[in-house]
Amino acid sequence: MSTSSNKFLVGIFDDEDVLMHSISHVRHDGGNIHDVLTPYPIHGIEDAMGFKRSRLSRAAFLFGLLGFICAQSFIFFVLNVDWPMNIGGKSTIPYPDFIPVSFECTVLFAAYGMVFTFLIVSNLLPGVKIKPFDIRSTDDKFVMVFDLAHNTKTVDELTLMLKSQGASEVYEKVMD
Amino acid sequence: MHVSSPIREPLVTNGKTLGDVTNDVCKQVEGKPTKLWYFAMAFSLVLLGLGSYSLYITWTQGIGSWGLNKSVGWAWDITNFVWWVGIGHAGTLISAVLLLFRQKWRTSINRAAEAMTIFAVFCAGSFILMHMGRTWLAHWALPLPNTYGSLWVNFNSPLVWDVFAISTYLSVSLVFWFIGMVPDLATIRDRATSPISKMMYGFFSLGWSGSAKDWSRYETVSLVLAGLSTPLVLSVHTIVSMDFATSVIPGWHTTIFPPYFVAGAIFSGFAMVLTLMLVTRKVYKLEDYITITHIETMNKIIMLTGSIVGVAYITEFFMAWYSGVEYEQYCFINRATGPYWWAYWSMMTCNVISPQLMWFKKIRTNIYATFILSIVVNIGMWFERFVIIVSSLHRDYLPSSWTYFYPTIYDVGDYIFSFGLFFTCFFLFAKFLPVINMAEVKAILKSSSERKDVKHH
């Protein structure tokens, strides 16, 4: 069996529920799905495909914590260490006044940190060129792709499996 | 799969398919600009041009070209700033808060509403830069190390909090809007025929393919951004309200301001979304996506937030009486009966009476009534900020300082500039970018459209 990954089998579905049922059936019957491409996110597809929960929310929390710490330390430094001022005899650590800016910095760091992490981890960067399996995956079709080099089943077996699960088209594709 | 109650109104009418969603939205982006679009752009550019001349005079001659004086140090500049920021809040509310509340009806309006937010914040920012006078020293508002000791900004001041709040709000809204748009840009890229279109949409769609893993991460990012943006939108207008509430001026120094301003912002923001969407859906033939149900729901929110604003007016009035503070009491008597009585009564009519009309189903489902009321609400909200700022400043504690404020042609001209900026940006957005979030509308198509026949299998 060839080790190069350039021969793929593409199955096209027209309906999200038919797709979801077929994913669980195909995986149960021993098919190894390379990827599923859809025009919109489908509820429950992560569990059906066996994906782990995204850790981006944890990344957002950590970035937010960093933002909070940076803001609090900076304001403390400015108001209390570098140039403390006697404003009407008030304390140089007026904690309520720390809150608005710290909150904004928390949100800013969390949002940008998470988004940049997402883009880098998913390889979604300006100018990245992809070779689409079927461009209708961004329009109105649901595309299931099998890498023939990483599947124990033959092309005919996979084709039969997909057709019996309700795929409207099944074809082979060679990617350069 | 999602099950939607059969008694709910469909959110997408006329039996649209996934392919229809793509075609209906993309054909506006792909088609050549129509005569109407050129006319709209010409109109906005005229406003922008006239306004730019006014801006030039403001910058070269200084703030003295406005009608401000020693008593009334803020008037149209800050009124316009708060007005635009308030309008911007609806976009984030629709994108973020309604996502957290799982309101599917947000999907056809959130893209345009978020675009409106970003352009409104540009306009608000322009007034901040203008009102500084020496706009070329705007960087002095930032806490940057410098050679003056380092002389830092005063973190105790709401004006500094505003710098952080508004810039964070602009950047987070921008990133939320852009990330949400990436899958739709990929759809346009895959349909593009001209090399320039392919290159531009290809560049900005970041290589999006629709892979399930990417969608999974995208959903997490959307949810977390929504969760971050919700307290952000509440905090931004709270901080803006503190520009007034933390002062000692009668009529300003009141704790009702933060919730009152936030409710007022949502009120005027939704009104502006309606004004824009009623025109867009007609011109772009998107009535099957932005249905009467959507319009009715937005009207209900306007009614709710308008009522909160009305209750806040009553509360302010009550507290002025109950406190026994004669300065506060005079402030409210002056608003209703003094030299600016005409502004006060315009505000009351527009803001208190008009949202109450939405109790009647006939009115809240009528497009023409909605359009007129949405403009009335925005006029009322402009007067609200004007009344708060000018009526409190022109007669505060010392009667010998009492005076009247008249706007000059440059006060008006700079406001016209902001309309020119807003509409130029909006019409560019409407031409080159998809005004509806196609992926999200496709996601609700099965459960919430009129195609009930495909639900059962």
**At B257, which CATH number?**
1.20.1630.10
Does residue B419 belong to any structural domain of this protein? yes
Does residue B126 belong to any structural domain of this protein? yes
If one compares B436 and A54, the residue with the highest pLDDT of the two is B436
CA distance B4 to B12: 13
| pLDDT for B302 beyond 80 | yes
Cβ contacts from A onto B, under 8 A: 189
Q: What is the pLDDT of residue B7?
A: 74
CA distance A149 to B275: 56
Is the CB of A94 less than 8 angstroms away from the CB of B156?
yes
Q: What is the pLDDT of residue A69?
A: 98
Chain B residues with CB under 8 Å of A128 CB are: 206-207
Beta strands in B360-453 (DSSP E): none
* In B2-104, alpha helices (H): 18-30, 35-61, 76-92, 98-100
Is the CB of A132 less than 8 angstroms away from the CB of B160?
no
Does residue B371 belong to any structural domain of this protein? yes
CATH number for the A7-53+134-174 domain, one of 1.10.287, 2.60.40, 3.30.70, 3.40.50? 3.30.70
Q: What is the pLDDT of residue B115?
A: 96
Is the CB of B17 less than 8 angstroms away from the CB of A140?
yes
Full 3-state SS string of B336-356: HHCCCHHHHHHHHHHHHHHHH
Contact in structure between B128 and B254 (CB atoms under 8 Å):
no
Confidence category of residue B200, pLDDT binned at 50, 70, 90: very high
Q: What is the average pLDDT across B68-78? A: 96
Contact in structure between B155 and A101 (CB atoms under 8 Å):
yes
Q: Which of A143-152, B109-118, B328-337, B410-419 has the least mean pLDDT? A: A143-152
Chain B residues with CB under 8 Å of A57 CB are: 220, 223-224
Distance in Å, alpha carbon of A35 to nearest chain B alpha carbon: 6
Is the CB of A122 less than 8 angstroms away from the CB of B179?
no
Is the CB of B220 less than 8 angstroms away from the CB of A51?
no
Distance in Å, alpha carbon of A19 to nearest chain B alpha carbon: 12
Burial class (CB in 10 A: 0-12, 13-18, 19+), B60: exposed
Does residue B7 belong to any structural domain of this protein? no
Does residue B91 belong to any structural domain of this protein? yes
In the structure encoding, which two tokens stand for residue A135, read together?
């461009």
Q: What is the average pLDDT across B166-176? A: 96
Count the helices and strands in chain B (H runs, E runs): 18, 0
Confidence category of residue B2, pLDDT binned at 50, 70, 90: low
Confidence category of residue A131, pLDDT binned at 50, 70, 90: confident
CA distance B280 to B298: 16
| pLDDT for B312 beyond 60 | yes
- b/e sequence B221-239, b meaning 16+ C-beta within 10 Å: bbbbbbbbbbebbbbbbbb
In the structure encoding, which two tokens stand for residue B49, read together?
């041009």
Confidence category of residue A29, pLDDT binned at 50, 70, 90: confident
In which element (H, E) is residue B412 found? helix B409-432
| pLDDT for B435 beyond 90 | yes
Chain A residues with CB under 8 Å of B242 CB are: 100
Of B161, B187, B454, the CB nearest to A138: B187
CA distance B102 to B225: 15
Return the residue of A nearest to B145 by Cα.
Answer: A78
Q: What is the average pLDDT across B286-300? A: 95
| pLDDT for A1 beyond 70 | no
Is the CB of A83 less than 8 angstroms away from the CB of B149?
yes
Contact in structure between B3 and B447 (CB atoms under 8 Å):
yes
Is the CB of A41 less than 8 angstroms away from the CB of B215?
yes
Q: What is the pLDDT of residue B274?
A: 96
In the structure encoding, which two tokens stand for residue B295, read together?
């319009």
Of B22, B207, B223, the CB nearest to A129: B207
Q: Average model confidence (pLDDT) for chain A?
A: 91
Is the CB of A56 less than 8 angstroms away from the CB of B221?
yes
Does residue B13 belong to any structural domain of this protein? no
Q: What is the average pLDDT across B111-137? A: 96
In the structure encoding, which two tokens stand for residue B88, read together?
């911007």
Count the neighbouring beta carbons within 10 Å of the beta carbon of residue A86. 7
Is the CB of B161 less than 8 angstroms away from the CB of A139?
no
CA distance B358 to B414: 33
CA B282 vs. chain centroid, Å, equals 21
Q: What is the pLDDT of residue B300?
A: 95
- What separation, in Å, do the N-terminal and C-terminal C-alpha atoms of chain B show? 12
In the structure encoding, which two tokens stand for residue B316, read together?
């302010």
Is the CB of A112 less than 8 angstroms away from the CB of B171?
yes
Kindly give the interhelix angle for B438-448 and B18-30, rounded to the nearest 10 degrees: 150
Q: What is the average pLDDT across B108-115? A: 95
Strand-pair partners of B281:
none
Of A36, A82, A107, the CB nearest to B172: A107
Structural domain count, chain B: 1
| pLDDT for B452 beyond 80 | no
Is the CB of B18 less than 8 angstroms away from the CB of A114?
no
- The one-letter code for the residue type at B216 is S
Nearest in space to A141 (alpha carbons), one of B190, B15, B288:
B190
| pLDDT for B455 beyond 80 | no
Nearest in space to B407 (alpha carbons), one of B126, B74, B142:
B74
Return the residue of B nearest to A130 by Cα.
Answer: B207
Is the CB of A107 less than 8 angstroms away from the CB of B221?
no
Return the residue of A nearest to B22 by Cα.
Answer: A139
Domain ranges of chain A: 7-53+134-174, 56-121
Chain B residues with CB under 8 Å of A82 CB are: 150, 152
Distance in Å, alpha carbon of B153 to nearest chain A alpha carbon: 9
| pLDDT for B119 beyond 50 | yes
Does residue B1 belong to any structural domain of this protein? no
Q: What is the average pLDDT across B221-241? A: 96
Q: What is the pLDDT of residues A67-78, one digit of tens each?
A: 999 999 999 999
Q: Which domain holds residue B89?
A: 18-454
Return the residue of B nearest to A92 by Cα.
Answer: B156
Q: What is the pLDDT of residue A4?
A: 54
Of B191, B213, B224, the CB nearest to A51: B213
| pLDDT for B6 beyond 80 | no
Does residue B12 belong to any structural domain of this protein? no
Confidence category of residue B453, pLDDT binned at 50, 70, 90: low
Is the CB of B228 less than 8 angstroms away from the CB of A60?
yes
In which element (H, E) is residue B429 found? helix B409-432
ipTM exceeding 0.90? yes
